[in-house]
Structure 1
Amino acid sequence: MPYNIAMVSDFFFPQPGGVESHIYQLSTKLIDRGHKVVIITHAYEERTGVRYLTNGLKVYYVPFFIIYRATTFPTVFSFFPIFRNIVIREKIEIVHGHGSLSSLCHEAILHARTMGLRAVFTDHSLFGFADAASILANKLLKFSLSDVDHVICENTVLRASLDPLMVSVIPNAVVAENFRPRNYSSSENGYQVAPLPQYLGPHDTITIVVISRLFYNKGTDLLVAAIPRILSAHPNVRFIIGGSGPKAIDLEQMIEKNVLQDRVEMLGPIRHEEVRNVMVRGHIYLHPSLTEAFGTVIVEAASCGLYIVCTQVGGIPEVLPGYMTVFAKPEEDDLVAATGRAIAALRANKVRTEEFHDEVKTMYSWTDVAERTERVYDGVSGVLSEADFYGYDITDAGSWSATRGRSGVQSFALIDRLKRYYGCGIWAGKLFCLCVVIDYLLFLLLEIWAPRENIDIAKNWPKKEKVDRIQRDRSKFGR
């Protein structure tokens, strides 16, 4: 059945990034499958109000104060009035939040459950358990996800103390056609023709590409330390670096100090549609991240025909086959050594990078991601039985929450919600319960102060013929 879905996150276009791209691509594919999707995010510079993107995707840019890395200042309750207005206007049934560090996401999940809406959360980051920032982030997740219906994530089961039955692992994907190698073209009969192998001689220049946000967690410090050593050991190598962030100044100082202006090109911020044009200028993609859940950019680079050098952290080792990548520990010496091995392999012509694109195209598909996400929506809405959704009768699972109703979906009853939050800790549990009660009282006040019948219902974007055909096909097969 079709759903009205609200994607909520602080991170969305025009800011470039993996989370932003994921939300956009997933939303457009869900629209293709007959669902209605709107996106709620904060305003970016002069981009405020309501905007329409491709395929009738509506975006609400809400004006909120930004504190750090495009994240809004957490207020818990001030977002509720405008969120409620949007939800009622668009007849939203499912709220899907994205990003463990997104304030709007966590607040939207809380408000959605108060309003009696189904809530799904997707985590796009990996955090540890020892440092202060991770402990704080994990406690925030524990609060937000105590009352969520389902979670799509990586290591969030441990971080938020979730029941594994509530969790699905769905990978990212790329539009491979947007990331083709330089000489990848169409033949006269319409078939795609892969580029011929490019053999590198011992003195040919090898270009290493880095496209990343220049922050500490993205391994910029490792990059600053490794680049001079790599260039010193390999005379016919140069770097192209794209991206922006507070660590850009460190890279610029490194270039000045080592007089590498003719061998390191700094491009600054680049738009997502320009990423492919930068990547095809290179032979190797270097990804020195210290923490990463998936790393969409390395899939894009492989699709462009680049050999990948990346740190062995998070979910990165599971993303691409071993013959496409050279792994390194997140350490300076190992990163330099791994890059040297990649350069040697290319010079010896041991790697057939021209075949990477066709292989990546068969590995990841946004249509598949949308279908699997749609199945999560069917599960939390009760369309699928617990046996179909979870694979067996969850009533036999001793760990299953007693506050869940029939069909395995979360109960909306206030007392059940308070029970879930109360178990979050001796002091935190009481604080979380207080927040839920205040949120519920605010909801009742809004229902009186701004009655639903006074809120205009938004008209739906006209569906394309293709969407109608997909919906008929789904009905034909009983979905």
Structure 2
Amino acid sequence: MKHNICMVSDFFYPNMGGVESHIYQLSHCLLERGHKVIVITHLYGNRRGVRYLSSGLKVYYLPFPPFYNQCILPTIYTTFPLLRNIFIREKISIVHGHSAFSTLAHEAMLHARTLGLKTVFTDHSLFGFADASSILTNKVLKFSLADCNHVICVSHTSKENTVLRARIKPELVSVIPNAVDATMFMPDPTKRNPDKITVVVVSRLVYRKGMDFLVGIIPQITARYPDVQFIIGGDGPKRVVLEEVREQYELHDRVTLLGPLKHDQVRDVLVQGDILLNTSLTEAFCIAIVEAACCGLQVVSTRVGGVGEVLPPDLIYLAEPNVKALVEELERAIRDKKHGRVVSPHEAHERIQDLYTWRNVAKRTEVVYNTVSLKPTRDLPDRLLRYYQCGPLSGKLFVIAAVLNVAVLWILQWLWPDNTIEPAPVFSTPVPWKKTRR
């Protein structure tokens, strides 16, 4: 079965991150398999309108500026006219939203269900249940997934978390892990400094990524091991704290802060290292440790979320999320490196490239699309009942929002009937990387 798929998220290139990479790679592999795929996101600086990426992937940069944390202002109805126009122009049959943080994804899925289209959602993150931010996000997710046809999670831990947060049936959730393009992350031991043991950190420098742990780890490790140096790639509000630590302990020659990295620069940084350190407080999958292992690095990581499911035990050192445990595991990795008790870079690369491939992810996602397309379309009373059951107060608000969305659709159909919207031309674009992509 061939599908017309619309990937929607606030997070896409030129912004960098795991969600952005996932959408990009999955879209390209689905194009390779003969599906029609477009991406919808908001504007990024001067990048707005319709763009075609090098392989033929069509991207709509909508004229909605980011409001907070790269997400647009939640308005629900103001995005409907433009999204409806795109769905009809491109003859979309499945709308695939990504990330629970993405306002645009949630709104696009609501509008798609109002239009009678099938929806799929991929959750890339783990959330708690106690703080105000998590409570609000979980309530929005519960509303969004109440009428979603299927949900994809990137790990079994993520699946359990999503099922509890959104209160959906486990049989409606599939686990499809992330992957890595092994051809982009080839190991190169010649780039390493033979006189040093290099610990690499590639991450957003934010609280959720455990930068406060890193601040406590660096002084202890550098004091005990004169031959250990740190290379830190990424940017964020915690960079100031790392700079203060480097200044306080006079570690300018042993701690290098590279600043923000483009995705094509990550491999060049990773191959310089012997060990990757991941200090995240929460991770659903963590594609960064897969990329590092693919480049031949040993991985030291916090034992949080789905991290324990990702790599074989001999390629990763897992620690509890605190400074003491991370220092102990990092010291163990350093000792194993010095005594040659680690897997060779090329052997690690061969193992990882067989474990995680984007083509396999695309095949499994295609099965979800086929299943969803065969499901009957829900009528309005069924949809409203699902929303009503979301809570004694919030359920009523969700029903009102859904009814108003239907009213907006009637107005749009009256002002701009479906038959007046010109279909987008279809271009047969070759895929030059088809023979090399794994």
TM bin, normalised by shorter chain, reads over 0.9
Aligned to 1:399: none
2:226 matched residue in structure 1: 235
Residues 324 and 341 (structure 1 numbering): CA distance in 2 closer, same or farther, change over 3 Å?
same
Deviating above 3 A after TM superposition, structure 1's stretches of 4 or more consecutive aligned residues are 463-468
- How many residues are matched? 427
- Secondary structure of 1:351 counterpart: coil
Given that 2:216 and 2:323 are in contact with CA atoms closer than 8 Å, whether structure 1 keeps it comes out as yes
Return the alpha-carbon distance in structure 1 between the equivalents of residues 202 and 405 of structure 2: 41
Question: Which runs of no fewer than 5 residues in structure 1 stay unpaired?
Answer: 185-194, 383-408, 469-479
CA 1:90–1:199 in 2, change beyond 3 Å: closer, same or farther? closer
- 1:226 corresponds in structure 2 to 217
Task: State whether residues 55 and 431 of structure 2, in contact with CA within 8 Å, keep that contact through their aligned partners in structure 1.
Answer: no
Alpha carbons of structure 1 residues 435 and 465: separation in structure 2 relative to 1, 3 Å: closer
Letter matched to residue 149 of structure 1? N
Q: Which has the larger radius of gyration?
A: 1
Residue from 393, 396, 401 that aligns with 1:427 = 393
Q: How far did residue 465 of structure 1 move? A: 8.7
Separation (CA, whole Å) in 2 of partners of 1:86 and 1:158: 33
Q: Displacement of 1:77 after TM fit? A: 1.0
1:262: how far off?
0.8
Compute the displacement of 1:76 (Å).
1.1
Query: Which letter does structure 2 place at the counterpart of 1:452?
Result: D
Contact 1:48-1:61 within 8 A present in 2 as well:
yes
Moved more, 229-238 or 21-30: 229-238
Q: Is the 8 A contact 2:7 2:37 kept in 1?
A: yes
Distance 1:467 1:18, change over 3 A: closer
Alignment partners' CA distance in 2, 1:70 and 1:230? 35
Secondary structure of the 1:56 match is: coil
Give the equivalent residue in structure 2 for 1:474: none
Q: Which of the numbers 419, 426, 449 marks the counterpart of 2:415?
A: 449
Compared CA separation, residues 248 and 133, structure 1 to 2 (3 A): same
Relative distance call for 1:459 and 1:36 in structure 2 (3 A) is same
**TM-score, reference length from structure 2:** 0.95
**Which residue of 332, 341, 351 maps to 1:359?**
351
Partner of residue 161 from structure 1, selected from 159, 167, 170: 167
Partner of residue 138, structure 2: 138
In structure 2, what residue type is equivalent to 1:357?
H
Provide the rounded CA distance (Å) in 2 between the counterparts of 1:466 and 1:14. 21
Does residue 273 (structure 1) correspond to residue 279 (structure 2)? The answer is no
Q: Out of 213, 225, 242, which is 2:204 matched to?
A: 213
Offset from partner CA, 1:102-159 (integer Å, 9 cap, x none): 0000001100000000000000001122222211111111010000000002221111
> Take 1:258 and 1:464, find their aligned partners in 2: how far apart are those partners?
54
Q: Are 2:402 and 1:436 aligned? A: yes
**1:373 equivalent in alignment to 2:365:** yes
Q: Percent identity?
A: 53
Aligned CA RMSD, in angstroms, stands at 1.8
Note the 1:223-372 alignment, pairs <5 A. Answer: 223-354=214-345, 355-372=347-364
Secondary structure at 1:209's aligned position in 2? strand
The 8 Å contact of residues 307 and 353 in structure 1, kept in 2 or not, is answered as: no
1:70 and 1:137 map into 2 onto residues whose CA distance is 16
Query: Please, which runs of 5 or more residues in structure 2 have no aligned partner?
Result: none
In structure 2, C-alpha distance between the alignment counterparts of 1:450 and 1:251, rounded to whole Å:
55
Q: How does 1:67-86 map to 2 (within 5 A)?
A: 67-86=67-86
Q: Is the 8 A contact 1:32 1:467 kept in 2?
A: no
Measure, in 2, the Cα distance between the counterparts of 1:422 and 1:74: 21
- Tell me, yes or no, if the aligned pair for 1:32 and 1:466 is still in contact at 8 Å: no
Deviations 1:60-95 (A, max 9, x none): 001213222211111111111110011111010000
Deviates more, 1:219-228 or 1:172-181: 219-228
